[in-house]
Structure 1
Amino acid sequence: MLACCPSSTPMDYKASLSADTGTPLTDPSSYRRLIGRLIYLTNTRPDIAHAVQHLSQFVSQPTSSHQQVVFRILRYLKQAPGQGIFLAADSSLQLKAFSDSDWAGCTDTRRSVTGFSIYIGHSLISWRSKKQPTVSRSSSEAEYRALASTACEIQWLTYLLEDFRISFTRPALLYCDNQSALQIASNQVFHERTKHIEIDCHLVREKVTNALLKLLPVSSSFQLADIYTKALSPSRFKELCSKLGMSNIYSQLEGGS
């Protein structure tokens, strides 16, 4: 891989992977080791979180197609080995989060993918790309499940800040680009169409009532959690990496060479 051609994105946004894509690997151990190391790397590289999450679903029976995408992630990492999260020293202590989902994004199970970014001021401190545990019957349901997961993470972060005796601005701002999900959160009456997500409804509404959260709309073009739910085009991917606050520590050296 040292002589490989670098890639601008970890996954091809036109590619469609499933459990049956490609031929089974005769020795899947190398694939599993790579996935394990990449999962560890996502602790500091949110830009590969979705790709690694997607490929980790195939560790039981990986194929040649899955392996090629893993190699593409390595080619992407080679393109910017010094890429990382920039933490601002003078940002405000306001928690801000973006929640998103890709409805029925998994072609094998039709489960949706949850993605979120949480910031303190302008600094990214928490993120997730994870397949939801159950099938959602609508995009609104998938978005609301993502909202509930994000709300739980925000609650944990507030406990952490309180334990550290750090004063922060309340409420936390939670942005969502699905109007139906926002309307469910503001509707005090449950009905048959929302009964199957009633627990999530109560959870999010309780956080809003207790002034822990404030739900706000955001347009899809400004949805920063989009990078955790699906593979993106190179231009969109680069744009979101910049908005996540990621920077390359070697960029100045490369520019001066």
Structure 2
Amino acid sequence: MELPPGMPNAENKVCKLLKSLYGLKQASRKWFEKLSTALISYGFTQGNSDCSLFIKKSTTSFMALLVYVDDVLLASDSLQEIQLLKEFLHDQFTIKDLGPLKYFLGLEIARSKAGISICQRKYALDILQDTGIIGAKPAAFPMETNLKLTANDSDLYEDPSAYRKLIGRLLYLTLTRPDLAYSVQVLSQFLAKPAVSHYQAAVRVLRYLKATPGQGLFFLASSEMQLKAFSDSDWAGCIDTRRSVTGFAVFLGNSLILWKSKKQLTISRSSAEAEYRALAATTYEVQWLNYALQDLQIHHSQPTLMYTDSKSAMSIASNPVQHERTKHIQIDCHLVREKLQQNLIKLFYIPSRLQLADILTKPLDSLPFHHTLRKMNILNIHVHLEGGVGV
């Protein structure tokens, strides 16, 4: 840094830093340290499942505060407590009150008596506008079912940085769009050397996005407090590495709250092994969700109902005798069996046609794709508000 202009005898002098400057590597850490110290002094406790979650509970009220850098979400059953906290934060940091939650970090939130809707309509439209796809023909689903992309394609795309930027923006869009999770996961594997075929597949995703820019999550106002998880795997789905794809979706009642589509780290020798690794990954997330519910003072004593379409994986989980075929996946075996014995999860078989996590492991045709979305409560409220017909 340079000394201020006009400072006398500025040669051979340095400035003493009294506080962390914006833009330094340690600035964000020092800011969070100051904010969390102030909140804890006010009576909040920091969550164990997420260090950015703060909870304050008394005999008459409950408050939950979520922090993202310098943006704060606050929820409480007492308007008086909210006002007192805002006054405290304003005295400490000079805050700007944006009122009831409607728009946060690109997420659009709408509330009614039926429930809460979260989407990224404006963000999606900005992507379409910037890429010039706003006038393209809409597509009914994001990826062709018979499409097989490979990293060995020699017809390279002329502007790889534009491809990387597009995939990065689509990745953020998957925060509220589970219907895009599988397609974006596949396309993000070719960031190093994108080919023309990869870009064409990304354009297909954008055409689907044009048909459903306002689609997003819908959380029902009345729903049971029961965790349900759907776990699935596509064995050897990657034609380059022969690794399988894990997909899972976790519901609280009928509301989708967690999902993932990810290529497994190791090669599975059988479909049962791939399904079992998917079960283990789902179990990790279910355990974390239980910690999060505890932080939010929500009592969830019943086991999570976990559904899989693999009877072989269920047999491995419940039968400790199958050592010869499972000795190379012992860590996952021990984890799932331990959580079964602890009554954290309870396994059930479900036919493949009813497996909701299918949409996260493979490209589906239009009919099963939209049927699964309806089952997952993925809605486009803008279509319904405008009097149209949703798919």
TM superposition score normalised by structure 2: 0.64
Counterpart of 1:119 in 2: which secondary structure?
A: strand
Counterpart of 2:242 in 1: which secondary structure?
A: coil
Aligned to 2:327: 195
Aligned counterparts, 1:130-145, within 5 A: 130-145=262-277
2:208 to 68, 76, 79: 76
* Shift of residue 5, structure 1, vs aligned partner: 0.2
Residue 212 of structure 1 pairs with residue 344 of structure 2: yes
1:3 to 120, 135, 144: 135
Aligned to 2:230: 98
* Shift of residue 16, structure 1, vs aligned partner: 1.1
Aligned to 1:66: 198
Deviates more, 1:188-197 or 1:219-228: 188-197
Identical residues among aligned pairs (%):
57
Aligned to 1:151: 283
Aligned to 2:370: 238
* Shift of residue 190, structure 1, vs aligned partner: 4.0
**Per-residue Cα deviation, 1:68-123 (whole angstroms, up to 9, x for no partner):** 11111111111011111110111011000000000000000000000000000000
**Per-residue Cα deviation, 1:164-202 (whole angstroms, up to 9, x for no partner):** 111225100000000000000110224211111111010
CA distance, structure 2, for counterparts of residue 64 and residue 169 of structure 1: 51
Instruction: Give the counterpart letter for 2:279 in structure 1.
Output: L
Instruction: Give the counterpart letter for 2:164 in structure 1.
Output: R
CA distance, structure 1, for counterparts of residue 300 and residue 361 of structure 2: 29
Counterpart of 1:170 in 2: which secondary structure?
A: coil
* Shift of residue 25, structure 1, vs aligned partner: 1.6
Aligned to 1:226: 358
* Shift of residue 21, structure 1, vs aligned partner: 3.3
CA distance, structure 1, for counterparts of residue 252 and residue 385 of structure 2: 29
Instruction: Report the CA distance shift for 1:256/1:185 in structure 2 as closer, same or farther (over 3 A).
Output: closer
Deviates more, 1:19-28 or 1:214-223: 19-28
CA distance, structure 2, for counterparts of residue 208 and residue 217 of structure 1: 15
Deviates more, 1:193-202 or 1:144-153: 193-202
Counterpart of 1:104 in 2: which secondary structure?
A: coil
Counterpart of 1:108 in 2: which secondary structure?
A: coil
**Per-residue Cα deviation, 1:190-245 (whole angstroms, up to 9, x for no partner):** 42111111110100011110010001110101100000000011111111111111
Contact conserved, 1:8 with 1:79, CA < 8 A, in 2? yes
Larger helix proportion, structure 1 or 2?
A: 1
Which ranges in structure 1 are unaligned for 5 or more consecutive residues?
Answer: none
Larger radius of gyration: 2
CA distance, structure 1, for counterparts of residue 321 and residue 331 of structure 2: 13
Aligned to 1:160: 292
Contact conserved, 1:190 with 1:198, CA < 8 A, in 2? no
Instruction: Report the CA distance shift for 1:84/1:18 in structure 2 as closer, same or farther (over 3 A).
Output: same
Aligned to 1:43: 175
Aligned pairs, number: 257
* Shift of residue 253, structure 1, vs aligned partner: 3.9
Aligned to 1:27: 159
Counterpart of 2:269 in 1: which secondary structure?
A: coil
Instruction: Give the counterpart letter for 1:248 in structure 2.
Output: N
Contact conserved, 1:10 with 1:48, CA < 8 A, in 2? yes
Counterpart of 2:167 in 1: which secondary structure?
A: helix
Aligned to 2:308: 176
Q: Which has the higher contact order (CA 8 A, sep 6+)?
A: 1
CA RMSD of aligned residues (A): 1.2
